[in-house]
A and B are shown apart, each in its own frame.
Chain A
Amino acid sequence: MVETILKLTNLRKVYIMGDKKVARKAQKAIQKLHIKYEKAIKNNSDDFKSISNTLNKAQELFSSEKYTESYLLLTGKEIHEDKNEKGVVVHALNGINLEIKTGEMVAIMGPSGSGKSTLLNMLGLLDTPTTGQIFLRDINVTGISNKKLPDIRSHQLGFVFQSFNLIPTLTAIENVMLPLKYSKVPIRNRKNMAKQALEMVNLGDRLHHTPNELSGGQRQRVAIARSIVNKPAIIFGDELTGELDTKMTREVMELVIKLNKNGQTFIIVTHNPEVAKMCQRTITIIDGKVAKK
């Protein structure tokens, strides 16, 4: 049986910008109850069902911009909204439930502003959800302290970005060695591991080239080598072919498919239907919700 590598339950991300005091207060109250809910589950407490019901109702009210009602439900206290307050509440993710299996290659699609990049940031532990839970190999990583997150990122997660995001002053091999440095791999092993990763993406003859001495496709392959060097559980690709032409897109995607066939899990955010077609599954996000799995 294929194990679930990543699971999201009721994931929400709310950005409150400007003076929205009532929304902020309601949001704080929701987060407080959420912590209580997680504790209740952890301790197998009987009242987790009633907490869950209240939480769901409060979140529904919050999503429909009824902040005073949400706050009243959670605290029993009334607050008044100042209509002159400027600001905006953005519901970037609005209750996402997902499961990704080991070895899957999943595409996340959706129009601009639908929340797919926000979702990827949550999955990659680059940002924290407002409420909800993320389980990485059955471990709830939403409650993990900020101090422990870099360890998880360097050992279990790999990233490939749209604009390659290589360090311009470093050579290809030095760029690939970076995650090894942060995961405290002994110095004597780093060079060999990085060299192997670059050979795997057919760049064994470009080890000492800096990014500006490489083509777009080669740069993205360096970025892929950097993402696989630590043998992570999941690699996240954020529009990884966004800056490549058709030929280079095919070249990079062939490499991704090859790595996936060797068991590497990929989650790729893309606008390109051709890229999505190459994936085993496509998840469509619209208005912060999963529209199609």
Chain B
Amino acid sequence: MVEILKNMWRRKTRTMLTVFGIAVGILALVVMGAMAEKLNLLVDGGTTYYKDKVTVSAKGSSFMALPIPITKKLEIEKVPGVQAVFGEAYAMLDKDLSAVNFGPPASIIGYQPGSEKYESFKLNISRGRKLIESDSKKVVLGSDLVKKLNADIGKNIKLRDTEFEVVGIYEKTFSTPDTTVMIPFADGQMIMYNDQPEIIRTNTKPSEIVYDFIVYPTKGTDPDKLAAKIQSEVSGVTTMGPKAFNDQITTSVGMFTSMIYGIALISLLVGTLSIINTMTMSISERTKEIGIKKALGAKNSDIMIEYLTEAGIIGFFGGLIGLGFGSLFVFLINSYMEKTGDKIFLLTPKLMIGAMVFSIAVGVIAGIYPALYAVKISIVKSLREE
């Protein structure tokens, strides 16, 4: 091992440039991978949330957020297979969305506390308490919004110019609830109502509008089949079951993730080529030494292992530096974004270990061609070299 390190150090600049090439690739992989991890976690959260329920919204609301009349609740409840229906009011936390958000934007959800009884997606409280039926002008905050809103238990925050008292803070989920403000349903309806265009406001009352209904199926009912049934039996609504969620979100996110990794892999490919170049150059410089070693009894496998280890070490150091700078980059951006409540990166141990393993593997694979070249060197010819 000492010998291999000494060999690498013979041409310091060349070795360092190669290590740097790999480091850039791994940095890209770590940063892009951390973005993909965050996105995947959001999708996983959504998949878990939607797996046993049906969401019913107004027809055409996929193009613009249209409220649905509360009267539709009675029609939905009549559909066989429906166990319970709860309305949800929704508004974006920042009315005027000025920045491009990564994942769903921070939001306000007015919900009916009784729905928790049917909910399998459990949100735990880290501090304070949950909302109860009799609450008014109270909020429970997602963990990422505490800093953004400068909030704490017992403090008041302003939502659309109305004061709300913070009564609880959710545990961190690394998913959508971290950037969600939960308020009582009626308060949510009021905010949502005020956000509507005047034409809607003049024709309805706040208590008559809902953003969507969450429908819990009876035991043994397939939520996808129930979604189809509601769609056909209730007019003017669009339904979404677990499969539709997966089809819409998972596929598009999967493509996005592939693109992210693709970009990182291209930069890593450049690093790989530079390892091949460095190792081949280094072997042609050391042809005579390879001959000497073979004359001293080195087997082809000894020579192979030596050069593959050298390439692997280049990969290892490249990975270590890339991971170090990538983690620093992720940390700095996340710290900055924390103020807005929208962290865009998630650096997981899986990603870190994966990046290191990948980096070493890239090194070793890139070393195969030069190592095979070294093995083929003829002893007699190499000993003649000056």
Known A-B contacts A174-B3, A182-B297; A167 and B289 likewise in contact (beta carbons under 8 Å): yes
Q: Whole-angstrom distance from the CB of A210 to the nearest CB of chain B?
A: 10
Judge whether A161 and B299 touch: CB under 8 Å.
Answer: no
Known A-B contacts A179-B297, A182-B299, A183-B297; A170 and B292 likewise in contact (beta carbons under 8 Å): no
Q: Which of A133-171 contact B (CB under 8 A)?
A: 147, 150-151, 153-155, 159, 161, 163, 165, 167, 169-170
Could you say which of A2-10, A120-128, A244-252 contacts chain B? A120-128
- Which secondary structure dominates where chain B touches chain A? helix
Additional 7 contacts, C-beta under 8 A, given A127-B380, A150-B298: A150-B297, A151-B297, A163-B386, A167-B3, A169-B6, A174-B2, A182-B296
Tell me whether A14 is interfacial, beta carbon within 8 Å: no
Contacts of A161 in B (CB 8 A): 292, 383
Contacts of B296 in A (CB 8 A): 153-154, 159, 178-179, 182, 226
Best-surrounded residue of B7, B289, B296, B298 (most CB of chain A within 10 A): B296
Q: Mark B118-138, 1 if CB is under 8 A from A, else 0.
A: 000000000000000000000
13 CB-based A-B contacts, threshold 8 Å: A127-B380, A150-B300, A150-B302, A165-B288, A167-B292, A169-B3, A174-B2, A178-B293, A181-B302, A182-B296, A182-B297, A182-B299, A226-B296
Q: Whole-angstrom distance from the CB of A264 to the nearest CB of chain B?
A: 17
Tell me whether B328 is interfacial, beta carbon within 8 Å: no
Q: Which 5 pairs across A and B sit closest by C-beta, in order of nearness? A: A154-B297, A182-B297, A169-B6, A150-B299, A153-B297
Q: Whole-angstrom distance from the CB of B15 to the nearest CB of chain A?
A: 13
Known A-B contacts A154-B296, A165-B288, A179-B297; A121 and B6 likewise in contact (beta carbons under 8 Å): no
Q: Mark A168-196, 1 if CB is under 8 A from B, else 0.
A: 01100010001101110000000000000
Tell me whether B379 is interfacial, beta carbon within 8 Å: yes
Q: Whole-angstrom distance from the CB of B78 to the nearest CB of chain A?
A: 81
Contacts of A155 in B (CB 8 A): 297
Q: Which of B259-311 contact A (CB under 8 A)?
A: 288-289, 292-300, 302
For the complex, what is the distance from the CA of A121 to the CA of B380, rounded to whole Å? 7
Contacts of B299 in A (CB 8 A): 147, 150-151, 182
Report the interface size class on chain B: 20 to 34
For the complex, what is the distance from the CA of A150 to the CA of B379, rounded to whole Å? 11
For the complex, what is the distance from the CA of A277 to the CA of B228, rounded to whole Å? 104
Report the interface size class on chain A: 20 to 34
Known A-B contacts A154-B297, A170-B3; A182 and B380 likewise in contact (beta carbons under 8 Å): no
Contacts of A163 in B (CB 8 A): 386
Q: Whole-angstrom distance from the CB of B151 to the nearest CB of chain A?
A: 62
Q: Which of B1-38 contact A (CB under 8 A)?
A: 2-3, 6-7, 10
Known A-B contacts A167-B3, A170-B3; A182 and B383 likewise in contact (beta carbons under 8 Å): no
Contacts of A182 in B (CB 8 A): 293, 296-299, 302
Judge whether B380 and A126 touch: CB under 8 Å.
Answer: yes
Contacts of A169 in B (CB 8 A): 3, 6-7, 10
For the complex, what is the distance from the CA of A165 to the CA of B298, rounded to whole Å? 15
Q: Whole-angstrom distance from the CB of B14 to the nearest CB of chain A?
A: 15
Q: Which of A198-229 contact B (CB under 8 A)?
A: 226
For the complex, what is the distance from the CA of A179 to the CA of B380, rounded to whole Å? 18
Contacts of B10 in A (CB 8 A): 169
Cβ-closest chain A residue relative to B296: A179
Q: Whole-angstrom distance from the CB of A55 to the nearest CB of chain B?
A: 26
Known A-B contacts A159-B296, A167-B292, A182-B297; A126 and B379 likewise in contact (beta carbons under 8 Å): yes
Judge whether B2 and A153 touch: CB under 8 Å.
Answer: no
For the complex, what is the distance from the CA of A3 to the CA of B132, rounded to whole Å? 102
Contacts of A151 in B (CB 8 A): 297, 299
Cβ-closest chain B residue relative to A161: B383
Judge whether B7 and A124 touch: CB under 8 Å.
Answer: no
Judge whether B294 and A150 touch: CB under 8 Å.
Answer: yes
For the complex, what is the distance from the CA of A121 to the CA of B295, rounded to whole Å? 10
Contacts of B386 in A (CB 8 A): 163
Contacts of B294 in A (CB 8 A): 126, 150, 153
Cβ-closest chain B residue relative to A226: B296
For the complex, what is the distance from the CA of A192 to the CA of B29, rounded to whole Å? 47
Q: Mark A74-104, 1 if CB is under 8 A from B, else 0.
A: 0000000000000000000000000000000
Q: Mark A222-256, 1 if CB is under 8 A from B, else 0.
A: 00001000100000000000000000000000000
Contacts of A181 in B (CB 8 A): 302
Contacts of A159 in B (CB 8 A): 295-296
Contacts of A165 in B (CB 8 A): 288, 292, 295, 383
Q: Whole-angstrom distance from the CB of B6 to the nearest CB of chain A?
A: 4
Known A-B contacts A127-B379, A165-B383; A170 and B297 likewise in contact (beta carbons under 8 Å): no
Q: Whole-angstrom distance from the CB of A167 to the nearest CB of chain B?
A: 6
Q: Whole-angstrom distance from the CB of B284 to the nearest CB of chain A?
A: 16
Q: Whole-angstrom distance from the CB of B330 to the nearest CB of chain A?
A: 38
Q: Whole-angstrom distance from the CB of B315 to the nearest CB of chain A?
A: 21
Q: Which of B368-386 contact A (CB under 8 A)?
A: 379-380, 383, 386
Q: Mark B322-355, 1 if CB is under 8 A from A, else 0.
A: 0000000000000000000000000000000000
Known A-B contacts A121-B380, A161-B383, A182-B302; A126 and B6 likewise in contact (beta carbons under 8 Å): no
For the complex, what is the distance from the CA of A124 to the CA of B294, rounded to whole Å? 12
For the complex, what is the distance from the CA of A6 to the CA of B155, rounded to whole Å? 96
Cβ-closest chain B residue relative to A158: B296
For the complex, what is the distance from the CA of A138 to the CA of B178, rounded to whole Å? 81
Best-surrounded residue of B7, B289, B300, B383 (most CB of chain A within 10 A): B383
For the complex, what is the distance from the CA of A205 to the CA of B222, rounded to whole Å? 84
For the complex, what is the distance from the CA of A65 to the CA of B292, rounded to whole Å? 35
Q: Mark A109-134, 1 if CB is under 8 A from B, else 0.
A: 00000000000010010110000000
For the complex, what is the distance from the CA of A129 to the CA of B67, rounded to whole Å? 92
For the complex, what is the distance from the CA of A181 to the CA of B293, rounded to whole Å? 10
Q: Whole-angstrom distance from the CB of A165 to the nearest CB of chain B?
A: 5
